[in-house]
Amino acid sequence: MNGFRKLDHLNSASLTLKHLLNNSTVHQSPQSAIAEFVDNSYDANAKNCSIEVYDTPNNERIEILDDGDGMTRSEALNIVKFGFSNKVDNAIGRYGMGLKSGGLYIGRDILLLTKKDDEETAVFISHSFLRAENTDEKVYIPSPSWKYGEAHVPTIEDAERFDDECGIINQYMSVEGYESFEQLFDKIPGEHGTLIIISKLQRDPRGELEINITGDKWDIQDIGDNLPPHKLSLRKYLEILYLNPKMAITLRGKDVYPRNVVDNWMARYTVEYNGDMSTESLNKTIHEIQAQKAQCRFLGKLVTLVCIRCSWKFECGRSSQVR
């Protein structure tokens, strides 16, 4: 034990530490694990999401920050429930199991800080703390809150728990330049948003990091041979993550530019037009274009009209000179 009076008054997850760690194996790469957090930002209506890496030796960490809706205390506490999700029907993630599985795949400790409705809430899922306290059968999760800048302690039990929770987080989550974790809320610039800090990044039996954060200063990379670009590079993975991008993503200080992968899958059909301006010739060409464009809705077909005489190209409403 580390001097804390008791643990039973802390919030706890409805699963064991072993189950929590086993669940993290659903991920096969850091790209899919980090994408869990990006999806959550996307679902929270964030306009901006940034991913930063701090490579301080033996204290490496990854931070994901968004300006989305954030969470109230009650919404944040639902995270510790197994499989609980606040997501709406068309949402992608929203912390059903993603926070726990994605975070523990990458590191040993996860600190979530969130703001909403004048509340600030911290949720700390720490493998380091649970191992030190020998609490394998129960996952205790410190989760202190503030309301209007004051500690959220409506009962005496809440007041006792609050001090212990803050002490645990400050002991196991140290960030250089910050004397206490409470100061980290300043990293969320507005009145709402979420910051996730993943620290004590996973290492292999030789003590080497299991992800590559030094090979490219603008990227986070997996470790392996002959990997395709989107499996090697987080940046490449994020470029093709969404069919309908609506959120700006920044990775290590550099914008991620989305690519529409559907264009690569699209069937293509070319209608050739010889430049004949007669009514019969024009009607025949127009009829062929309309017939093919009608199939676009079902086949994902891109119809291109090419004028043989003047080298003019027309693609589904977009025209350009063929060069």
Q: What is the pLDDT of residues 39-56, one digit of tens each?
A: 999 999 999 999 999 988
Predicted local distance difference test score (pLDDT) of residue 276: 60
Partners of residue 305 on adjacent β-strands: 271, 314
Plot region of 170 (φ>0 → left; ψ -120 to 50 → alpha; else → beta): alpha
Q: Is the pLDDT of residue 300 over 50?
A: no
For 54, the enclosing helix (H) or strand (E) is strand 48-54
Q: Give the pLDDT confidence of 94-118 residue by residue, as tens digits.
A: 445 567 677 888 998 999 999 999 9
> Looking at the domain that runs over 12-255, which CATH code has it been given?
3.30.565
Cα dihedral value 61, 18, 2, 5, nearest 10: 120
Q: Are 109 and 156 in contact (CB under 8 A)?
A: no
Q: Which residue has the tokens 């990379």?
A: 221
Summarised one tens digit per residue, pLDDT across range 49-83 is: 999 999 888 889 999 999 999 999 989 888 766 54
* Relative orientation angle of helices 98-106 and 30-43, to the nearest 10 degrees: 140
Residue by residue, DSSP assigns 268-285 as EEEEEE----SHHHHHHH
The tokens describing 35, both together, are 């994408």
Strands 107-116 and 119-126, sheet pairing: antiparallel
Q: What is the pLDDT of residue 304?
A: 54
Q: What is the pLDDT of residue 254?
A: 96
- Give the domain ranges of the chain: 12-255, 266-321
Stretch 184-197: mean pLDDT = 94
How confident is the model over 174-191, as a mean pLDDT? Answer: 90
Q: Residues 6 or more apart from 311 whose CB is under 8 A from it?
A: 321, 322
- Contact (Cβ atoms closer than 8 angstroms) between residue 82 and residue 13: yes
Model confidence at 191: pLDDT above 90: yes
**Residue 241 or residue 26, greater confidence:** 241
CA atoms of 237 and 264, how far apart (whole Å): 16
Exposure string of 139-150, with b = 16+ CB inside 10 Å and e = fewer, is bbbbbbbbbeee
What's the Rg (C-alpha) of the chain? 26
Rounded mean pLDDT, 197-222? 93
CA geometry: angle at 257 spanning 253 and 258, to 5°? 135
For residue 300, what are the contacts with CB-CB under 8 A and spacing of at least 6? 262, 265, 266, 267
Q: What is the pLDDT of residue 116?
A: 95
Instruction: Give the mean pLDDT of 226-234.
Output: 91
One-letter amino acid of 27 = H
Lookup: tokens for 150: 């004051």
Two tokens, residue 248: 């700006």
Distance CA(88)–CA(189), nearest Å, equals: 26
Q: What is the pLDDT of residue 292?
A: 55
- Per-residue tokens: 236: 């490449």
Indicate yes or no: pTM above 0.85.
Answer: no
Q: What is the pLDDT of residue 58?
A: 83
Q: What is the pLDDT of residue 255?
A: 96
pLDDT over 50 at 209, yes or no: yes
User: In this prediction, what percent of the chain has a pLDDT beyond 90?
Assistant: 38
